[in-house]
Structure formats: C-alpha cells, structure tokens
Amino acid sequence: MVFFEDHGIEEKEFFQSFKPVNNTFPLHFHRAYELIIVNEGELLVKINQKEYVMNQNDIAFIFNNQMHEFKTMDHSDISIVIFSPELIGHFFMNYRGYVPENNVIHLSKIPDLNKLDSIYRQKSFLYDICSALVENTEFVPVEHSTKTKVLHKILLYVDRNYKEDCTLKAIAKELQYDYPYLSKLFVQMTNMGFTEYLNHYRISQACYLLKNSQQPIGEIAINSGYNNLRSFHRNFKRITSHSPREFRELP
C-alpha cells in the first residue's frame, strides 16, 4: 500500500513508481500527477465521481487535486507513477485549470518503468503519455465548486488527524459548517459515510505499516488511529478479508 497525499507540495521535480498487486485504495487527492497502469487483471477506478473499468495496458492519467480511488475487481497487477507537475512543466502550464474529459487511455505496449533511470528518460516517457492523452480526449475547465472545496478540506483534515479522535463533528466545528450539512455532502460526493471512509483510510495506513515496518501489530493499531485493538482487528478483517498477521505474511 502506498500513500501520496503530500506528494507535490514542495513544488520540486520528482518521479516515483510502485508496483502493488491486488490493491485497493480509498478516496484521496494530492497536488502531484498520478498514472495508474494496469499490467494484468481488471481495476475499477473512480475519478471525480466518474467510473472507469480498466484492463491490461490501460492508463489512468490523474491530474493534480482530482479526487480518486481504485479497487481491484478480481485480480490486478498495476504500476503507479507519482510525479510532480514541474517535471512536465510545459504541459502543466498549458493545461493548468483543466482536466481531461476522459482520464483513461490505452497503449499497445507499456514501457519498462525500471529502465526510466534518468530524468531525461522519465520526461520522455511522461511527455509521450501527455501526447497520447491530448490526442484521445478533450479537456474541460476545473469545477471550483464550493462542495468540492469543502470536501477537499475534510479529506485534508483526515490526512492530518486520523491518528487522533477524528470525527465529522470536530471537522464541522473546525470548518464552521453545520454537521448535518457536512454529513449529507460527504455521502453525496463519496458514496460512503464519513466513519466508513475514516476506517478505510486508517486500515490503509495499517496495511502500509504492516508491509513496510517491523512495528508490533498493537503499535500499528495505535499509529493508525485505533485505541481499541478489538475494533482494529474487526475493521481490518472486514475491509481486507485478512487478519493483520495474515496480511503481513502475504507475498
């Protein structure tokens, strides 16, 4: 499991790639651009409330601050590339304030990401993707709606406070909005309740720690926002279909 929320904030050139298998990630957004590449299997990707079913050699090009999530349908082997807008500065400036009408393109062949070992090869690869996107879709102005801005603020609050007693009532107080309004808005824009999203986010953090640290499971539960170990185990099993110990031992 990988986390991207803070990527791109420092406005420096960077390029990172990951290759998760059978992965699912809840709703999130970030300043960086993101490519989701399907190497094998089938993936359901949702970008700004539009759903795409992706298959082999499909690429989703997610623009900065587009809200997105993805879910493995049955089996998926994917590559994820996170990179700063500055890395493709010319494209970024030309399409700033716009998003693709269709975020997904299909390539006959996907380059080997392991061979992109210099900034010049990385830029060449990314500009080829930009060219394919421009040739295959129209671009529309970004909707700067009040609802989208409020949802961004809620998601950022979760990102910064998920380890604490993070509640929608606390967020409503922080943002100075009525709690019933935020509750209704969140469900309307994400198709899930706030508590469900928070649990998915916390369990995603736990998955990352299980695979990338030697922390004991009890410590991981606390670092993921769970003070009650029983609640942690129950939610982990429900969301991942594995116990934390089983998940850690998965290849």
Closest CA to 48 of 32, 60, 37: 60
Give the chain's count of helices (H) and strands (E): 9, 9
The domain boundary residue, chosen from 85, 106, 141: 141
Q: Look at residue 5 and tell me if it is in a domain.
A: no
pLDDT band at 4 (very low <50, low <70, confident <90, very high): very low
Q: Tokens for 55?
A: 């298959």
Kindly report, residue by residue over 118-175, the tens digit of the pLDDT.
999 999 999 999 999 999 999 999 877 788 889 889 988 998 999 999 999 999 999 9
Q: Report pTM.
A: 0.78
Domain end: 125, 141, 157, which one? 141
For the chain, percent of residues with pLDDT exceeding 70 = 96
CATH assignment of the domain containing 150: 1.10.10.60
Strand partners, 69: 46
Domains in the chain: how many in total? 2
pLDDT of 196 over the 80 cut = yes
Residue 161 and residue 97 share a domain:
no
| Shared domain check, 100 and 37 | yes
Domain boundary among 117, 141, 165: 141
In a domain, 51, yes or no: yes
Query: Does 226 lie in the same domain as 155?
Result: yes
Which residues have C-beta within 8 Å of that of residue 242, sequence separation ≥ 6?
236, 250
Do residues 170 and 85 both lie within one domain? no
Nearest alpha carbon to residue 166 among 197, 198, 193, 140 = 198
